[in-house]
Amino acid sequence: MKRIFLLCVIAPILLCPNRGGAKVYIDIGSPIFRPFPIAVTGFEPLSATSKDLAESMNKVLTNDLSISGIFEIIEAENFPQWQSQQQLSEEDYRKWLETGAEAMVWGTILEDGGRINVHFSFLDLIERNLTTGRYSGSAGIIRKIVHRMGNEIIRQITGEKGVLETRIAYLSKKTGNKEIHAVDFDGHNVEQITTNGSINLSAAWSPDGRTIAFTSFKKRNPDLYFIDVGTKKQELFLGVEGLNAAPAWSPDGRKLALMMRKGESSEIFVINRDGSNLVRLTYTNYNEASPTWSPDGKKLAFVADRTGGPQIYVMDLSSKKTSRLTYNGSYNASPDWSPRGDRIAYCGRLERRFDIFTIRVDGSENLILTSEAGNNQDPVWSPDGRYIAFSSNRKGNSHVFVINANGTNQRQLTRHKGGETQPSWSPRME
């Protein structure tokens, strides 16, 4: 059955309903997952000024699908001859399947006065389902258009669109100071967010993607600030004398959890987004740090050194009952709760090196994702739960890397000479 959707850059996707049987989608987190073979046959320029744009689009889309870890890109040298506008015959299907491809993508692009119109087609060669789409916008946002296209292709294969339009914030010493930067999922479009010339820590995106909460020493005290991602306007949110750090937004964006110094130890607090109702959650003589919310907002995971070395604990916010989650190793920290709710990522020390782990919320199935040289820290989930970003010094200075949630498809994301740490993944930018 043919499925058609229309998309303009400023408009939502409109999809015709699939009236056939339920489609079976691939799960990239499955132990038996194999990349989906796809042929990207390119974009046909419909005007002389469209040629360079067509080549650029093809490169960006091929890279997007490759770094997603979902697809195996079929080499163009294996493609049979064909015209992109033709209907595929039985012989054509046979020839394309012989290349190893199970799907193919093609399209056209027309540039006119700085505006572009893109048409693309995605054909599932196995089910013989065709999805087509139209995109329009200025030539300056061609990468954004391609990312949206890639997200739709990912949705066709997995049942959930991708995160190609998301951004990852991180701390960088590129300027000599520890400032917050952000970069697209594909490593392009690096942007400096803060410019206060101080030490900035613990960036955390709000659920609507408009604000980043962070700790800064710009007034010599570790205070909590908000910065508007669009305007770069900063505001002091919490400046209690002492520690105001490790902010974590609640899923609804109405509250933040954080760590504050009380006496000789740090404790976990929750405060409303408007600055009211500061509530202390932990009362111990130990250090409690690094809170992270469950997706339903009913629990917090955090780090505490109640047994000597830091371990991860989980608190039920209704009953305040707390239970220990990690027992493997003497040092486990930096928890981040998967948006799917089933696992928590963290960094743990084994054999004098830090690696990235995930563990089920009941404490079972503790998996190690990294095992290369260097220290791997600061894990954070993508908004779809398919990927984890983390920092690693495996190449000398620390840089941000991305890995599939099953431990495959590791790639380096940032490359500043000053080093990058503490990634924070944005929500989907709709």
Among residues 162, 182, 187, the alpha carbon closest in space to that of 170 is found at 182
Tell whether 430 is covered by a domain.
no
Tell whether 376 is covered by a domain.
yes
Q: How far is CA 299 from the centre of its chain?
A: 22
Q: Are residues 137 and 252 in the same domain?
A: no
Q: Are residues 392 and 298 in the same domain?
A: yes
Tell whether 221 is covered by a domain.
yes
Q: Are residues 139 and 82 in the same domain?
A: yes
Q: Are residues 341 and 365 in the same domain?
A: yes
Across the chain, mean pLDDT equals 90
Final residue of a structural domain among 158, 185, 214: 158
CATH number of the domain to which 284 belongs: 2.120.10.30
**Model pLDDT for residues 32-62, shown as the tens digit of each residue:** 788 999 999 999 999 988 999 999 999 999 9
- Contact, 284 vs 265, CB < 8 A? yes
pLDDT at 8 over 50: no
pLDDT of residue 84: 66
Residue with the bigger pLDDT between 37 and 82: it is 37
pLDDT at 78 over 90: no
Tell whether 203 is covered by a domain.
yes
Residue with the bigger pLDDT between 429 and 385: it is 385
| Confidence at 149, pLDDT banded by 50, 70, 90 | very high
Tell whether 94 is covered by a domain.
yes
Final residue of a structural domain among 158, 181, 214: 158
Q: Are residues 136 and 232 in the same domain?
A: no
* Mean pLDDT confidence for 79-84: 80
Q: Are residues 118 and 198 in the same domain?
A: no
* Mean pLDDT confidence for 305-318: 96
* Mean pLDDT confidence for 333-354: 95
Final residue of a structural domain among 128, 158, 188: 158
Q: Are residues 171 and 266 in the same domain?
A: yes
| Confidence at 3, pLDDT banded by 50, 70, 90 | very low
Among residues 52, 51, 123, 119, the alpha carbon closest in space to that of 82 is found at 123
Kindly report which listed range (75-84, 267-276, 290-299, 342-351) carries the lowest average pLDDT score: 75-84
pLDDT of residue 263: 78
**Model pLDDT for residues 117-148, shown as the tens digit of each residue:** 999 999 999 999 999 999 999 988 999 999 99
What's the CA gap between 276 and 259, in Å, rounded? Answer: 16
Among residues 136, 133, 134, 135, the alpha carbon closest in space to that of 113 is found at 136
Q: Are residues 6 and 106 in the same domain?
A: yes
pLDDT of residue 390: 98
Tell whether 416 is covered by a domain.
yes
pLDDT at 15 over 60: no
Kindly report which listed range (136-140, 176-180, 217-221, 286-290) carries the lowest average pLDDT score: 136-140
Q: Report the 3 state secondary structure along the chain.
A: CEEEEECCCCCCCEECCCCCCCCCCCCCCCCCCCCEEEEEEEEEECCHHHHHHHHHHHHHHHHHHHHCCCEEECCHHHCCCCCCCCCCCHHHHHHHHHCCCCEEEEEEEEEECCEEEEEEEEEECCCCEEEEEEEEEEHHHHHHHHHHHHHHHHHHHHCCCCCCCCEEEEEECCCCCEEEEEEECCCCCCEECCCCCCEEEEEEECCCCCEEEEEECCCCCCEEEEEECCCCCEEEEECCCCCEEEEEECCCCCEEEEEEEECCEEEEEEEECCCCCCEECCCCCCCEEEEEECCCCCEEEEEEEEECEEEEEEEECCCCCEEECCCCCCCEEEEEECCCCCEEEEEEEECCEEEEEEEECCCCCCEECCCCCCCEEEEEECCCCCEEEEEEEEECEEEEEEEECCCCCCEECCCCCCCEEEEEECCCCC
Domains contained in the chain, number: 2
Q: Are residues 264 and 312 in the same domain?
A: yes
CATH number of the domain to which 100 belongs: 3.40.50.10070
Q: Are residues 152 and 172 in the same domain?
A: no
**Model pLDDT for residues 188-247, shown as the tens digit of each residue:** 999 999 999 999 999 999 999 999 999 999 999 999 999 999 999 999 999 999 999 999
Tell whether 79 is covered by a domain.
yes
**What percent of the chain stands above pLDDT 90?**
80
* Mean pLDDT confidence for 74-98: 86
Residue with the bigger pLDDT between 263 and 94: it is 94
Q: How far is CA 6 from the centre of its chain?
A: 26
Q: Are residues 246 and 369 in the same domain?
A: yes
Burial call 161-196: b when 16+ CB within 10 Å, e when fewer: bbbbbbbbbbbbbbeeebbbbbbbbbbeeeeebbeb
* Mean pLDDT confidence for 247-268: 94
Owning domain of residue 68: 2-158
* Mean pLDDT confidence for 376-388: 97
Q: Are residues 225 and 293 in the same domain?
A: yes
pLDDT of residue 7: 42
pLDDT at 430 over 70: no
Tell whether 292 is covered by a domain.
yes
